Each structure stands twice: as C-alpha cells, then as structure tokens.
Structure 1
Amino acid sequence: MTKLAGIWRRKSVAQLQADAGQSSGLRRVLGLWQLAAIGIGGIIGVGIFVLAGQQAASNAGPAVALSFLLAGLGSACAALCYAEFAGMIPVSGSAYTYGYAVLGELVAWIIGWDLLLEYALVVAVVAIGWSGYVQVLLASAGVTLPVWAQHSMSDATMHYYLHQGLARIGLVHGVVPPPADGYRFNVIAAGVSIAVALLLSLKTEWGARFNTLVVVIKLAAVLAVVGVGVFYIHPANWHPFVPARIVGADGMGHFGWQGVLTGASVVFFAVFGYDTLTTAAEEARNPQRDLSLAVMLSLGVAMVLYIAVSLVLTGIAPYSQLGGDASVSDAFRSIGLGWLATAIAAAAVIGVTSVLFAFMLGAARIGFAMGRDGLLPAWFARVSPRFGTPVRPTLLLGGFTGLVAGLLPISEVAELVNIGTLSAFILVCAAVWLLRHRQPGLTRGFRVPAMALVAPLGIAFSMLLIAGLPRITFERFLIWMALGLLVYFGYGIRHSRLNPDQAT
C-alpha cells in the first residue's frame, strides 16, 4: 500500500519552476516568432491542403467555414488553458508536466505515455500523406518509384503478416492466403521521418530556423490561395450556404446543420498542434512571456487562414468537386490556373514537413522530461554536449516512426492518433481549473478569462469528440495504456525522483 501511495505524488509548482531555473543541458535559443512558427507548423498542414475541400464535398458544403469556426472555438478553450500553464510552469513536457503538478504522478505518466504514442503516430500519418504528394510531383517530372516502394502495406497484407506471426507462437490457428499485392514499404515516408529526426538532433536553433523558413513558404502559399482566389469567386457557389440534409439508404447522411457539426468533428484534428510548442519550454528565451503568446498567436493565425481558404475554395468551385486528395490544387486547375495548382502542390510538400518537425520535437521533449523525472530510464534525458539536444530519444523516435510510416497503411495508423490528444486536453482543462481553486495566489503570466466557462467547455467538447471515435480505437488505446501501466509499476514508480527511497 505504501508503494501504491506513490501514484498520488505531485511536483509542486515551486519545484517545477526551480527545475526551469536549473541547467538541463537544453539551450535557450527560441524567441516568440520561432515558438509561434512551431505552433503554426503543427497546426497548418493537411487541414488546409486536403480537409477543407474534402469536408465541403462530403459533409458541410460551403458551410465548412463554420465547421472550422466551431472546431476552432472548441480548440481555443484548451489553448487558453495551455497558455495559462505555459506562462506559469515553463518546463519541458507540456501536458505531462502540468498533470504532474496538479493531478499526481500516475495521471502524469498516463498523459506522457499517451502523448508519446500520439505524437509519434501523427508524424507517421503525415509522413505517409507527404509521400503521396511527393510521388505526384515526381510523376509529373517523369520519375516513378518501383511498385513495392510506393506505398505502405495494405490492410489485408498487414493482417496476413500479423496472423503469420501469431500463428508461429501458437496464439492463432488456421491458414490465411497471402494477399495479391505482396510486401511493400513506403520508402519516401520512412525516409522523411528519419531525416526530420536527424535535423532535430542538431542544434535546436538550426532546426528552428529551417522550420521557420518552411512555415513562411507554407504561409505564402496559403496567402496566394486567398489573394488570387478571391478574384475568381462566384457567389452563386455559396448558395445554399448550408445545403439541405441528405440521408442515404444506410441511415447515414451529410449536409444540413448536422453535416456542419460532423465536419467540425473531423477538422478538429486539424486545429491542434499548438501544444507542441509548449514542450520546448526550456529552449525558450523568455518562456513566461513568450509561450502563452505563441500558443494564442499560432491558433489565431491558423484559424483566420482556415476560414479564409474554406470560403475561397467553395467560392471558386462547386463544393461537390472538392473531394480529391489535393482539393486546393484541383480547385485552381478547374479555373484554368494550372501553374498555380502545381505551385501549391509543391508548397504543400515543403510546408507539411513543418508538421513533422513540430510533433517529433514534442514527442522527444516529452520523453526527455519523463526520463529526467525518473519515470523512464535516464538515457532519455541525456543531452548531447555538442548539440544541446536530446539526441537519443529523437533518433529512437525517428526509427520508430520510419518503420510505422513505411510498413503500415495510413487508415490503421490514423485511427489511433486522436484519442490521446483529446484525453490530454480534458486533463489540462481540468488541471488548470483545479489549480486556480487550490492556489489562486500563484503568479500567472496569463490567466484564462471566464475560467468557470472556458475549462468546462474544453472538457465537454473533447469528451463529445472522443465519444464519436470508432470502437477499435478504444481497444488499441487500452492495449497501449496497459503496456504503459506495466512499465510504470515495473520501473517508473520505483525510480521516480519523488520516491523517498530513490537516491537523489
């Protein structure tokens, strides 16, 4: 029982602030605009280049702009809570660290273990999508990869190899015929995952400068979409703005206000990413001031651009024609601006790399924080004396995400991405609200306005979206959590820095 009591150990805010004041080996080199670029890089990606058009075609029609607005309001509740914590506890680890301060060690472990998987899988999913854009550009230049190197395995192939492995150890029986498509490995997706890990292993400012440049290119492309597209808008394409509800024979439907809400649930996953910048708290020059500003700035910029692009896309082309994987390029090609469509596709390839950068940085910094606290081996918290970065966990993540992106189909990976981030949002909103009651006198660089309204809304919105996830997502999430609890009770609880039996 004494051992189990350790799960409620908390790091006080004073302890965390003291940790921030000590030298961790990480270098404080990031200013406000570099932090904001990490946040913007994490938010703006497939949401603009793919989801805006797809959700207009499949769920919301021209009212997809309202879907983004609703999703942004829900995400803003969590963003405000992140901003208050970031200004008060400028320590690496983001939601993991905030949970440690308020909800105890076990909850902190669950959040950290959760986000390690979620951030890594975001990298894998985006890398697979990025590979598709690259191959389109290569094909336009007459370059085609061998068939086996173009894509990850299909669902059928993955299940075949999984069955073969389980059969060898006697867990399943019977014979499953091999799929027709055979073994495949997405070389480009795996390669970009490893390349981003190598970049993040170098000096933080080098990676941050590269990321800022990529974000500038991406923003220029988005502004070109709006600046040029506004002259080709036909207001008739916006009528009706909310198309009539259509229900199919299977009972499923789209359009109408229900379609707008469905669209909001889908695009919600394109309006977070600002949380990744808070994982770099110990690399910020002035974290108490800049972290909270960067969180709000990155989400604000992203939301303005999402809504503007949604209105332009549905204004220049009928929403029914926007369902492709490259909907922005398709829209401009449909009005005779093929040169701009190609330029946008190229900018998307460049710009999406900033999403990889943001989420891999976030995962590596969470692993670093957990290693420093003793919940993972100290190996994770060792910083390269030459580069001032946690090289080992970064390269480990690069190898893991490279294998996942190279081998697994995007549908299998994407199903797991969302539940962990939403769980973290719930806990952050609850924790900042609880801490406001427990310690109202703490110095806060930023205070959430209308806390009694904002925090519950953030919790409710996240719970609503979790409830809509498929059952298989919960099953796989529970398997990952069970594995995490084995690691915690087998290692973390005994090696925690807060364990009184642990030598300091």
Structure 2
Amino acid sequence: MSTILRRLPPSEATGLRTGARHSLAEVYRPADLVVLGLGAMIGAGIFSIAGEQAATTAGPGVILSFMIAGIACLLACLCYAELASTMPTSGSAYTFTYVIFGEVWAWIIGWALILELQFAAALVARAWGAITVGALANFGVRVPDERPAQDFLVLVILVLLTGVVSLGARVGLRALWIMVSAKLLAVGAVIVVGLPHIDAANFGDFFVPPQTLDTPPATVLETLIGEGQAFGWFGIFAAASAIAFAYIGFDIVATSAEETVNARRAIPQGMIRSLVIATVIYIAVGLVMVGMVPYTRISEQAPLASAFQAADLGWMAHVIDVGAVLGLTTVILVLIVGQTRVLFSMARDGLIPRGLATVSRRYHTPTRVTLVIGAVAIVLAEFVPVVPLRELVVIGTLFAFAFVAAGVIVMRRRMPDLERGFRVPLSPLLPALSLVATFWLMINLRMLTWAWFVLWMAFGLLVYLVYGRRHSLLARPRTEPARPAQGGRHRR
C-alpha cells in the first residue's frame, strides 16, 4: 500500500532528476495567459449552452446560473492559483495531487483530466463542424449532405490544430491571439447591437415557477428528493452545473506554467483575470439574449441568432456565425495544448509510456504525445456519440477542482514553508467553500453521468495497477540513472 501512496517530493515537482521538468520553451507572458484562458472559455457557453439552458431549464434565471457557476469557478481558480504558484509545472492538478496526496491519487486526477480534456476536444470539434456547416449555409454556400460534410470538417479542423500545436507553442500562440481578438470583436458586436433592443419585461423576476417533470428524476439531487424538476431554484442550479462546461479553460492556463516567464506570479494573474473577464462577458451576453426575446421563444439550436432575428436584426446572424466558428476553433486549440501538457507530465513520471515525454529538438514541444492526442480526438469525434456525454467533461473537471481545493488546505499544514507566489485569502475558509460549491454542482449532474464516470475511473485504476505502479519513476531505486531528457531549457 505504501508504494501506491508514495508522494513526489516538492523539490522534484519542478526539478525532477530526469532534468525534463524544464525542457519546454518559455513563450508565455502575462497577457498571453489571459488570451489562452479566453481562448478556452469564450466559446460554447456563449453560442449554445446559455440559450439551451434558458429555454429548457432556468428561464431568465440563466443569468443567475452564470453567476453561480462563475463564483464556484472563481473559488476553484483561487485554489489553483496558489498551487500553481507553488509548483509551476505543466502537470497542473495532476502534479499538485502527486505532491500532496500521493501517486495513486495523482493517477486518478490525471485520468479524470484525460476524460475532461480529450472528450471536450472531440465534443467541441463536433459542435464546430455543425456550426460551420450552418454558417456556410447562411452565407449561401450549398452543402448537399450535411452529415458527411460535418464529418469531413471535423477531420480537417482536428488535423490542422494538431499540426499547429505540434509545431510549437509560439505558432499556436500567434494563431490564438488573432482568433481570440476576432471573436471578442464579434462578442462585443453582439452586446453593443443587442443592448438597445432589450425589453425589461422579458426578464420578469428572473424566477420561473418550478415545474415537476413527467420524466423520472435524472440528477443526483432529483433522485434524492424523489422527483424531476425544471425552472425554479432547482433549474437555476442545474443550469449552473451544465454551464460550468463553459468555464473550463482557466484550469488549462495552469498547464502552461513551465512555458511561462516568471510563472509563480504570472500564472495566478492570468488565471484569475481570464476567468473574471469571461464571467463578465457571459453575463453581458446572457442579459442581451434573454432581454431581447422571451425565454419561451429562444431557439435551442441557434439561441443568439434567433434573438436577433426576433428583433429584425437578421444580419447579425453572420457576425454570430463568424464569432462561433472562431470561438470554438480556439477552444479546440487550447484543449489540445492542455491535454498535451498533462499527458507529457504523466509520461515523464513513468505512469504512461515514457516515450510520450519526448520533446522535439526542432520545435521544443512534445510532438509525439500531441499527435497521439490528435488521433484519439479524431476517433472520438468521428465514431463516438460524444454530444450526449457532455456532462462527463464537467464531472471530470469538478472532480479535479475538489482535489485542488482540498490540496490547498492540506499543503498549508504539511508544507507551510514552501515558496508561494500567491496565497488564497481567508484560508481554509475559501478552499472549504470551494469544496462545498464543487460538491453542489456535482450532485446537480445526472445519475447516468455519475455511472459512466465511475466506470471510467475504475478502468483507469486497473490501468494504473497493471502498468503505472510498476513503471513509475518513483519505483526506481534512487541510485538508478535516469534516461537523459530530450531537449533543453529555452528562453524567448
């Protein structure tokens, strides 16, 4: 039992004896980290999830859902910021857990992050394909058969973005700046054009009377109370859990720590700033969408476009299409980057094949693991019905949030002398509140989601027992020489 609970020493979290902890090029500045976070967060939440949840679950209260999800994620973000400033490594929550709780728990979190990021990349790619086909149709481009066209476009975007990430962080960063700037202009147009057309009567009191559903209870909370409900406070909190998908992204900023200049201070700033900006944008767009049209008339398929069409502003559909395509493109790009860095860290720790930790001497990036991630994303997006499994991404993320919040409390007691570039204020109160908020969001997820999650984690534990436990770098005798690292440390 002691072998699977072995912990990575804090000194080795950022300077492992392989020498590989600093083999990635430093390319990110503080402003780049904000763009990285916005690249991941400004996407599906604005262009689809908000309208879907307003129409079916929360009504005008979807604004409150965004606030609730934003507050819960901000609490988690503060916890991430402290741990990332203490251990600026590309492993993010995986490495934090390795140091604080031990190897088996680190594997479990790493396995949850694989679920989050890999499924999210495939899921967003499918959404990107559907939205791109719709945008082409709106611009007058005839698509004879939508499904094959979507499949082809999904393949193209995943191959293209996998190639961009493989060529190095600088290439991806330049592309990210351009696309994020363009999509923020589109979002800004939505807010500015839509504001004059808001009718306060559409908001009501933000509270639609709760409705008991004819269908059996779906979420854990509904199962506990014995009935399924929509709207009312149950609907608002249920929508907040679904909307948490939109905020996935600030945690990916932490995976870029090894590639960031002055990471101990820059990572916390980038995470918090990007999350706050994204929350403000989400609430502003939600107010415009719900204010322009009664929630009962919001289209689940094209919520923003339907709102502008109801206001005789159909031309805005083209702006929304461009913003949606760019928005989802950056989300896919950042998800691939984040997944690459997590698997890279797990590989150099030996928990998955160490060959995946090879860094390209030419591009100074883990090209091999990037290509594997891209290939898996293509298979999932093309052959697995990932859309109904969207909540698996949320539960994987929230599971990591819980460990990070607990990690702050435990590390303050076990390792009080470690250098920290940021400290969560009012600890342990705020980390404890983060745990409570995360748990609340999790019980508002469907029972089916929990069942699939348990199966995924059980399979992952089996993989660890068969492979990871025996091949772990910490399982080697301390006198055994490590394989030389590929590449060296590079500065901008």
Alpha-carbon spacing, 1:266–1:477, altered in 2? closer, same or farther (3 Å): closer
Look up the match of 1:336: 312
Cα pair distance change 1:316/1:474, threshold 3 Å: closer
Residue in 2 aligned with 1:11?
Answer: 8
Partner in structure 1 of residue 86 of structure 2:
88
- Per-residue deviation, 1:75: 1.0
Q: 1:148 to 1:273 in 2, by over 3 A?
A: closer
The alignment status of 1:209 with 2:174, answered yes or no, reads yes
Q: Deviations over 1:466-496 (max 9, x none)?
A: 2333333333333332332233222222222
Letter in 1 for 2:126: I
Query: What residue is the counterpart of 1:267 in the other structure?
Result: 243
After superposition, what is the alpha-carbon deviation per residue over 1:376-400, rounded to whole angstroms, capped at 9, x for unaligned? 1111110111111111111111111
Aligned to 2:218: none
Which position in structure 2 is the counterpart of 1:164? none
Unaligned runs of 5+ in 2: 216-226, 482-492
Other-structure match for 2:340: 364
Residues 402, 104 of structure 1: CA spacing in aligned structure 2 closer, same or farther, 3 A cutoff?
same
Partner in structure 2 of residue 349 of structure 1: 325
Cross-structure match for 2:36 = 38
Which of 192, 197, 200 is equivalent to 1:235?
Answer: 200
Distance 2:334 2:81 in 1: 17
- Tell me the distance in 1 between the aligned counterparts of 2:3 and 2:63: 48
Q: Which amino acid aligns with 2:167?
A: L
Q: Deviations over 1:35-87 (max 9, x none)?
A: 11111111121111112222222222222111110111111111100000111
Could you give the per-residue CA deviations for residues 403-454 of structure 1, whole angstroms, max 9, x where no partner exists? 1111122334424222211111111111111001112222211100112221
C-alpha separation between the residues in 1 aligned to 2:92 and 2:284?
A: 30
Do the aligned partners of residues 485 and 256 (structure 1) sit closer, same or farther apart at CA in structure 2, a change above 3 Å counting?
closer
In 1, the alpha carbon distance for the partners of 2:98 and 2:144 equals 47
Contact 1:34 1:209 in 2 (8 A): no
User: Is the 2:92–2:254 contact (alpha carbons within 8 Å) kept by the matching residues of 1?
Assistant: yes
Q: What's the offset of the Cα at 1:234?
A: 1.5
CA distance in 2, matches of 1:15, 1:481: 27
Contact 1:326 1:345 in 2 (8 A): no
Provide the residue aligned with 1:138 in structure 2.
136
CA shift, 1:145, in A, is 4.7
SS of the equivalent of 2:7 reads: coil
Aligned to 1:289: 265
| TM-score, normalising length: structure 2 | 0.90
Amino acid at match of 2:371: L
Q: Pick from 185, 188, 209: which aligns with 1:244?
A: 209
Q: Does 1:114 align with 2:79?
A: no
Matched residue type, 2:148: A
- Shift in alpha-carbon separation, 1:470–1:331, aligned structure 2, 3 A: same
Task: Say if 2:61 is the partner of 1:63.
Answer: yes
Kindly, what percent of the aligned residue pairs are identical?
Answer: 39
Please say which of residues 223-232 and 23-32 is displaced more in the overlay: 23-32
Summarize the Cα distance change of 1:248–1:117 in structure 2 as closer, same or farther, 3 Å threshold: closer
Match of 2:220 in 1: none
Q: Distance in 2 between matches of 1:464 and 1:325?
A: 28
Under a length normalisation based on structure 1, what TM-score does the superposition of the two structures give? 0.88
Within a 5 Å distance, the mapping from 1:57-456 to structure 2 comes to 57-140=55-138, 141-146=140-145, 149-150=148-149, 186-250=151-215, 252-456=228-432
Q: Deviations over 1:142-178 (max 9, x none)?
A: 3215355146xxxxxxxxxxxxxxxxxxxxxxxxxxx
Shift >4 Å, 4+ stretches? 19-23, 248-251
Displacement after TM superposition at 1:23 (Å): 6.3
Q: Tell me the distance in 2 between the aligned counterparts of 1:439 and 1:148.
A: 54
Counterparts of 1:261 and 1:483, CA distance in 2: 30
Q: Which amino acid aligns with 1:246?
A: Q
Note closer, same or farther for the CA distance 1:489–1:285 as it changes in structure 2 (3 Å cut).
Answer: same
